[in-house]
Structure 1
Amino acid sequence: MDYMPGTASLIEEIDKKQLVVLRDGRTLIGILRSIDQFANLVIHRTIERIHVGKKYGDIPRGIFVVRGENVVLLGEVDGEMDNESDLNLEKVSVEEILQAQRKQQEEHMEEKKAKLKAMKERGLSSNVEQQDDAF
């Protein structure tokens, strides 16, 4: 096997099942069909996998085109290791995982508000607060 620089080394990964983590935190799993010199990806039979605690859910997405600059991590999925039950995770319906995700996001926002309030009470300001004021 010869080493190829840059995205050319991904040629060997075409037509294999890949896991892609995006810059916004989403996780995609699908078959890599095409790449270009900018690491733009075309993924076929894509699912978006959402994890919340010990539960996960898969949302079918079909064909997905991902701009290369949004890819944080890309790796081949081992067919034998693709079973999440080995990790003591419970697969749930799309509706249930989306509801759990919304609840988790709401809890995160409440924690953030509480931290900002505590900082304000102590006479401190944060960059987050200043950024929120800018909008």
Structure 2
Amino acid sequence: MSESPVTVQPSQEQQPQTKDPSAPNVEDLYLESYAFTTAAAIVGSVDRKVFVLLRDGRNLFGILRTFDQFANLVLQDVVERIYLNDESNTPKKFGETYKGVFMVRGENVVMLGELDIDKEDDHLYELEQIPFEVAEKELKIAHAKTIKDEKIKGKKLLEKGLINDFVKSDLY
């Protein structure tokens, strides 16, 4: 009788652990493959630099520290930036100011996106930087004009039996 040789596989503990550093983490793969439809969709942006557009038109740039189920956000090292457009609606000037830690109520968030920190400021070299206070004054004038134009437009539409859904707080 001849016995067949038995091969013994080393257990996982005995196998050398050589992990490819470029291989994605199992948790990351799980989160990326899961289609979040709630505030949990922004979990991958925690502790990363983000851009937040608010309903009143403000642009905030900062590090997302935490959020809750209502998409209320806590941002750190926030910079508020105002872009001023020319007649062709192309940004030509900007002003910015440091705001520190910011809490944003979720209902005021129009858009949130993660930034590439290597490229986030590239477009600013083409724009003229002006003091934040000057940019703020020019923006208030532009918003007042928009509100006035929308009121006129709303009255014209109402005369024709139509409704204009413009809300003064929605200036984005």
When normalised by structure 1's length, the TM-score is 0.74
Q: CA deviation at 1:85?
A: 2.5
Compared with structure 1, are the counterparts of its residues 103 and 13 closer, same or farther at alpha carbon in structure 2 (3 Å cutoff)? same
Structure-to-structure mapping, 1:1-135, within 5 angstroms: 1-3=29-31, 4=34, 5=36, 6-53=38-85, 54-83=92-121, 84-86=123-125, 88-109=126-147, 111-112=149-150, 119=156, 124=159, 127=163
CA distance in 2, matches of 1:59, 1:66: 17
Q: CA deviation at 1:102?
A: 2.4
Compared with structure 1, are the counterparts of its residues 32 and 111 closer, same or farther at alpha carbon in structure 2 (3 Å cutoff)? same
Q: Which runs of 5+ in 1 are unaligned?
A: none
Q: Deviations over 1:36-92 (max 9, x none)?
A: 122111000112111111111112221111122221111111112212335x32221
Higher strand share: 1
SS of 2:118's partner is: helix
CA distance in 1, matches of 2:131, 2:74: 26
CA distance in 1, matches of 2:147, 2:60: 25
SS of 2:57's partner is: coil
- Note if contact 2:82-2:132 (Cα within 8 Å) is conserved in structure 1: no
For the aligned residues, what is the CA RMSD?
2.8
Q: Which runs of 5+ in 2 are unaligned?
A: 1-28, 86-91, 168-172
User: How many residue pairs align between the two structures?
Assistant: 125
Amino acid across the alignment from 1:14: V
- Note if contact 2:93-2:127 (Cα within 8 Å) is conserved in structure 1: yes
Amino acid across the alignment from 2:107: E
When normalised by structure 2's length, the TM-score is 0.60
